[in-house]
Amino acid sequence: MLFIIMIYLKFYIFTMKTLKFFIFCLLFSIPSILKSQETLPIYSDYLSDNVFLVHPSAAGFRDCSKIRLTARTQWSGVKDAPSLQTINFHTKFGEKAGLGFVIFNDKNGYHSQQGIQGTYAYHLDLGREQDTRQLSFALAFMVVNNKLDETSFNIEDPVISQIVQSENYFNADFSMAYHDFDFFFYFTAKNLMLTSRNLYNKEYESLNLRRYLLSFGYYFDYNKNGSTVEIEPSVMVQYIERTKEIFADFNIKVYKELPSAKVWAAFSLRRGFDKTIASQQLTYLTPIVGVNFEKYMLAYTYTKQTGEILFDNAGYHQLTLGFNFGCYSPRRFWNERGGKSNRMF
């Protein structure tokens, strides 16, 4: 009995030290005097086995190291339309930790930003390892170079410098996750550094760029006549503190194992919930299809906006390429479930 109490106390002390470390880093980042701005936009590409882009606490959670590349275009046929390219990598580091990074290039007309984000995550097993209950914490720090190209502005105005203006910024995210067998839960607070930038007019830019993300869902199998389909419903809620906007993604993802590959399809409905007229709420429809073949993954995402007020009539297209490597023997949980390590979360 005394031995069990000692083991429990050691685990409790270790857990408290870990939590104190993350809380210290989080509090240290908030009052930072560094310039910061909002960074990566939040799309639906996390459904393409790419949740690390949204929730840093996913770094190193799975049994393989992962590389994901994405290329996104918006407003097809429109000159200088928004586009986004990302590459990210994350892996397990030691027994409990995870490391990852994201590099991105985001362009919208005369405005562009390039950045790199580094992430450290720590995963705590709650109970025995085979019980698959795990609590995760992560901190992500990002450096961004933001540009405004005024070289083609032929306007006689002292404010227009007709050069490429450039500023460097920093930002930080905090993330946590909980997994319990087939249930998953993520929470991420983004853009925690609250200082103005000097690239545009600081009188019209808010200091508050905080955005909160909450994701949860469940994974289960459906068996009929000897055929198994894996189903993964989930919800992601976003809250923007400054504008009080609320968005929710209602997702469903279905997997089917084939003799030589695994095919899957997902559908996401993004809906705004602010206080405007119901027919004018922001609504996006996003179907996604993909295939996992051995260690490779390929996915295509299409997004269409609906409603009375539209940004454009064209759709948004995205390709995602993935490669898994450095895989090790999965937990007993995955062996019992037939090695279903392609789950999104």
Between 316 and 300, whose confidence is greater? 300
pLDDT of 161 reads 67
**Is this structure's pTM higher than 0.85?**
no
Assigned domain for 108 exists: yes
Q: How many whole angstroms separate alpha carbon 241 and alpha carbon 310?
A: 24
Assigned domain for 37 exists: yes
* SS3 of residue 9 by DSSP: helix
Assigned domain for 18 exists: no
How far, rounded to the nearest angstrom, does the alpha carbon of residue 335 sit from its chain's CA centroid? 27
CATH for 251: 2.40.160.60
Assigned domain for 173 exists: yes
- Angle at alpha carbon of residue 81, lines to 76 and 87, rounded to 5°: 95
Assigned domain for 289 exists: yes
Assigned domain for 133 exists: yes
Residue 28 has pLDDT above 50, yes or no: no
Least confident piece of the model among 109-113, 191-195, 204-208, 299-303:
204-208
Assigned domain for 15 exists: no
Dump pLDDT digits (tens) for 81-103: 888 999 999 999 988 899 999 99
pLDDT of 21 reads 46
Q: Please count the structural domains in the chain.
A: 1
Residue 10 has pLDDT above 80, yes or no: no
Domain range for 182 is 32-336
Evaluate whether 251 touches 278 at the Cβ level (below 8 Å). no
Say which amino acid occupies 231. I
Assigned domain for 343 exists: no
